[in-house]
Amino acid sequence: MKTDELMLKVENVSKIYKLGEIGGTTLRDELQRLWAKLRKKEDPTKKIGAKNYNKGEKFKALDNISFEVKKGERIGIIGHNGAGKSTLLKLISRVTGPTEGQIHLNGRVASMLEVGTGFHPELTGRENVYMNGAILGMTKKEIDAKMEDIIEFSEVRQFIDTPVKRYSSGMYVKLAFSVAAHLDSEIMIMDEVLAVGDIQFQQKCINKMKSVSEQEDKTILYVSHNMNTIRELCDKVIVLDHGKLIFMGDVEQGISIYSLKDHILRDQIELNQQRNNVYSLSDIFRFKKIKLFPNSKQSSNMKDSLCFIMDYSSSEQLSDVFFRIVVYFANGPTVGMTCTNKSTIIRKTDNGHLKFNVDLSCLASGVYTLKIYAYGLNSQNVTGYFDVIDENIVFVEIGKEEINDVTWNHARWGHVKFNELHVNEED
Amino acid sequence: MEKQKFKTTITSKHKLFDLHLKETFKYRDLIWLFVKRDFTALYKQTILGPLWAVIQPVLTTFVFSFIFGSLAGLKTADIPEAITFNFHVPSFLFYMTGTMLFTYFSTNVNKVSKIFIENRGTMGKVYYPRLVQPISASLSNLIPFIINFVLFVIVWAVFLITGTTSMQVTWWLLFIPLVVLELIVLSIGLGMIISAVTTKYRDLQMLVGFGLQLWQYAAPVAYGLTLISLSPTWGDRLMLYTCINPLTPIVTTFRYAMFGFGYFNWIPYVVSWGVSIFLFFIGLMLFSKTEKNFMDTI
């Protein structure tokens, strides 16, 4: 029973932290710093060995993120450490404010960013249920009505009137989770809360979340590094990478992008020299390093063409080398292939550079991977490979104008966007 | 696509007074739970329990009466006429007023000023209107104050009934709630200012404990106002002395209302209300400005 009602709309949200001077300073430090700056000396309060950040250098924890969540959707948020997952959840749960942009919410948000938030060790389990519920925005009446369910679900009935300082950490989690799970909130936010409970309880929680979401149409945002729980609970994922939203959509696709994240073409990728491919003719020619062309945007959102420099080594001069690039959609189906029509001459060198320019104007926005082949043709026109990069190089094709504000639907439209369709009235 | 209305919008923009008063009211249950928590947690695993709320100020009062009253021989009077006409107030009651009011003031400033630092664990995880914290802190500090006040009133009534004192019951007693209200407003305001600044600069936190200790001697807590008005150097500057410290009119007015005579002057009283309200609004403004992003700097 999914409706089209939006529960959450994130619009161009960025969160910027200033480097080097985040909090913890005393007035004395600040004055010292000012004094040093006036005399053009080095900052005396700086940690020894700390990287010298320029004044005002900023770190974008979140970089222009926009997405929408509909009612009843269960969204998994994945990304490696430092990708901005927790920052995003903090912004949505209003713990800290965005630097730019807006977040619209439709309903109460219950955040379970950490286990037992607001539990006071001296109070009993029951008292803490009241406390925790109230912190999460319930009134006493609402908590009273749900008290029995909460105790039942938490499996700690025996200890409910014991101060929680005597609880084991597992009991803590169980109680905290069951308070949050019984909340009357429309949006639930969970950040790795389940990590502490035992497997049975984790399963119970996931089932509970699922049933709550299906029956009461609650919207769930769930952050985890455990892909199995993501698969089980979520019907959509958001993949964050270095503060950018690189993917939103199908769970499996998102997870495969996440697992490829190491190879996202950002600055450069050092290629693994241990090739275990069966194609290679010899060790004569080797790709060494792939480097995004400096003129392209650093973030690899190229508009129409992907431009990169490939470092190589070759122990002989080769005269008939062809290159081929195969593009896949998010480590999945092949999208297409492009190759050089004329052969390239490769010098004998330890460190040569080849500039690749791939025209990608026909690709719809999305996440793609590519493989690069260097091959030659013998007299019988049989292909022999010099070198093949079989690691997946991931690149993200975003920032293209969307057609009429519609996000590209890969499942229905494929991955190729042809040139504009022209329709004219025929006289 | 039609535009949808949203209930809440979080932006980077900031209004001068972003108080979320309506929301704070919705969280009134939380305020009470915080008060209850503070109270139970404070006296858990103690034998005497809430009796501790009485013991501290009573002992302080005794020490004051002994040192300032008996040893130093300071007169327990706020106006010279009281000495001339020999109005008699039991020194225990006289010193009790000062310690009672000042204990509330200092504990409240202290507690409110530490709100962000002490609750960053919770505040860093969940959103609730942050204003809930200073409100509940001030309320829970009011409990020991009320216990003290009840004790005070009992002793006061005993003295009145036995008639061994020149104290009188007057209509001024109705003024007491107003005086206490001002005390609350002043201490919350000051506390909120400090709490906002300490999220970035911890220096002020050091200053608070020390400053409050000194402040006690800047107000007629441990002495009567006659110490000033009869002093050869400060006698002429009584008005300056009473105006400059908003706590002074609070203490003297409280005594005036309880004892039926003493020092009362509208000018310092109004000035002190003005200062209290001014500090309160500055505090609110800084607090609402800080609460949004303090997690990044704390």
Q: Which sequence spans correspond to the domains of chain B?
A: 21-297
Judge if A93 and A212 occupy the same domain.
yes
What is the rounded CA–CA span in Å between residue A12 and residue A6? 17
How is residue B22 written in tokens?
Answer: 């309506």
What is the rounded CA–CA span in Å between residue A110 and residue A116? 13
Q: What is the CATH classification number for the domain harbouring A306?
A: 2.60.40.2550
Residue B210, H or E segment: helix B203-218
* Residue of A18, A119, A122 to mutate for B, most B C-beta atoms under 10 A: A122
Would residue A106 count as lying in a domain?
yes
Please name the residue of chain B whose CA is at the shortest distance from the CA of residue A121.
B41
Question: Residue A144 carries which side chain, given as an amino acid letter?
Answer: D
Judge if A326 and A230 occupy the same domain.
no
Bridge partners of A338, per DSSP, are: A325
Residue A232 is predicted with a pLDDT of: 84
Q: What's the average model confidence in pLDDT over A38-62?
A: 59
Residue B17 is predicted with a pLDDT of: 66
How is residue B227 written in tokens?
Answer: 């110490």
What is the rounded CA–CA span in Å between residue B190 and residue B184? 10
Phi and psi (nearest 5°) for A201?
Answer: -70, -40
CB pairs under 8 A between A and B: 127
A205-258: pLDDT as tens digits? 888 888 888 888 888 888 888 888 888 888 888 888 878 887 787 787 788 777
Contact B201 A111 (CB under 8 A): no
What is the rounded CA–CA span in Å between residue A68 and residue B296? 26
Q: Is B233 on the interface with A (CB under 8 A)?
A: no
Please name the residue of chain B whose CA is at the shortest distance from the CA of residue A107.
B7
DSSP-based three-state secondary structure for B272: helix
Q: What integer best gives the mean pLDDT of chain B?
A: 84
What is the rounded CA–CA span in Å between residue A74 and residue A188? 9
Judge if A138 and A279 occupy the same domain.
no
Judge if A116 and A231 occupy the same domain.
yes
pLDDT band at B229 (very low <50, low <70, confident <90, very high): confident
Q: What is the DSSP string of A197-227?
A: S-HHHHHHHHHHHHHHHHHH--EEEEE-S-H
Flag whether pLDDT at A50 surpasses 50: no
Return left, alpha or beta for A242; rule: phi > 0 is left, psi -120 to 50 is alpha, else beta: left
Q: Is B44 on the interface with A (CB under 8 A)?
A: yes
Q: In what order do the strands lie in the sheet with A268-270?
A: A268-270, A285-292, A305-314, A349-359
Judge if A92 and A153 occupy the same domain.
yes
Judge if A401 and A347 occupy the same domain.
yes
What is the rounded CA–CA span in Å between residue A190 and residue B140? 32
A60-85: pLDDT as tens digits? 788 888 888 888 888 999 888 878 88
Q: What is the CATH classification number for the domain harbouring A242?
A: 3.40.50.300
Judge if A252 and A311 occupy the same domain.
no
Phi and psi (nearest 5°) for A346?
Answer: -105, 125
Flag whether pLDDT at A24 surpasses 60: no
Residue A5 is predicted with a pLDDT of: 79
Q: Is B25 on the interface with A (CB under 8 A)?
A: no
Q: Structural domain tally of chain A?
A: 2
Contact A117 B200 (CB under 8 A): no
Count the alpha carbons within 13 Å of B152 in the hemisphere toward its beta carbon.
Answer: 25
C-alpha triplet A115, B119, A148: angle, nearest 5°: 45
Closest CA to B30 of B134, B125, B132, B120: B132
Residue at which a domain ends, from A259, A280, A305: A259
Would residue A9 count as lying in a domain?
no
Judge if A278 and A240 occupy the same domain.
no
Query: Mean pLDDT lowest for which of A97-106, A221-230, A411-420?
Result: A411-420
Question: Residue A21 carries which side chain, given as an amino acid letter?
Answer: E
ipTM for this prediction: 0.76
Domain containing residue A385? 263-413
Q: What's the average model confidence in pLDDT over B44-53?
A: 80
Judge if A248 and A270 occupy the same domain.
no
Bridge partners of B209, per DSSP, are: none
Residue A336, H or E segment: strand A334-339
Higher-confidence position of B199 and B178: B178
What is the rounded CA–CA span in Å between residue A21 and residue A205? 40
DSSP-based three-state secondary structure for A356: strand
pLDDT band at B221 (very low <50, low <70, confident <90, very high): confident
Q: Of all residues in chain B, what percent carry a pLDDT higher than 90?
A: 23
A303-349: pLDDT as tens digits? 567 788 888 888 888 888 889 888 888 767 888 898 888 888 888 88
Residue at which a domain ends, from A259, A294, A325: A259
Judge if A255 and A274 occupy the same domain.
no
pTM of the model: 0.74
Contact A23 B9 (CB under 8 A): no
Higher-confidence position of A24 and A37: A37
Contacts of B12 in chain A (CB under 8 A): 97-102
Rg (CA), chain B: 22
Q: Are A236 and A74 in contact (CB under 8 A)?
A: yes
